[in-house]
Amino acid sequence: MTAVSERAPRRSRSLWSVVHHLGAFGVVGGVGFVIEIGLFQLFYGHLGSGAVVAKAVATIVAMTVAFFGHRHWSFAHRARTGFRREYPMFLAINGLTLLLGLGIVAFARYGLDLTSAWALQGANLVSIALGTVVRYLMYRRWVFPAADTAG
């Protein structure tokens, strides 16, 4: 009976940890999302920048805000491998997903000849959704790895 009663609180703490971690990742991502969407709309829809330039600027600003949010909150419980390793790795992963996003927006704009801000925002949203999944998996694996529990 004791073994069962001891496992229940552990499972509860573990479940809470996962929920907290995903919630923090979601909040940081949500802030980045709002920044990226807002800046894309500002630059493309109101200031007349090209769609690809608007996407690049919006993503770079959102990415920088997200790094600090993830490092100090959503992945704060993970191993620290040093800012000089984490930040370049974070930038490289975001650079790859930025290229993916730029490719999607460029294809929508130039390949499909879409010019409406709303149509291009739709392409931008698709690129953000796909990039979010890729970034989460890569952050967990390479930027903020799990602490070594064997040592």
Nearest to 146 by CA among 53, 59, 17, 10: 17
Q: Is residue 35 assigned to a domain? A: yes
Q: Is residue 8 assigned to a domain? A: no
Q: Is residue 59 assigned to a domain? A: yes
Q: Encoding tokens for residue 120? A: 């291009």
Q: Is residue 9 assigned to a domain? A: no
Query: What pLDDT is attached to residue 93?
Result: 94
Q: Is the dihedral of CA 102, 104, 108, 111 positive or negative?
A: positive
Q: What is the pLDDT along the chain (151 residues), one digit of tens a residue?
A: 555 555 555 555 677 676 777 788 889 989 998 999 999 999 999 999 999 999 899 988 998 899 989 988 888 877 778 888 988 999 899 889 989 999 999 999 999 999 999 999 999 999 988 988 898 889 988 898 887 644 4
Q: Is residue 87 assigned to a domain? A: yes
Q: Is residue 106 assigned to a domain? A: yes
Q: Is residue 11 assigned to a domain? A: no
Q: Which domain holds residue 29?
A: 16-143
Query: What pLDDT is attached to residue 151?
Result: 40
Rounded Cα distance between 110 and 104, Å, is 10
Q: What pTM did the predictor assign?
A: 0.64
Give me the number of domains the chain comprises: 1
Rounded Cα distance between 59 and 32, Å, is 8
Query: What pLDDT is attached to residue 149?
Result: 45
Which distant-in-sequence residues (6+ apart) come within 8 Å of 31 by Cβ?
A: 65, 66, 69
Q: Is residue 34 assigned to a domain? A: yes
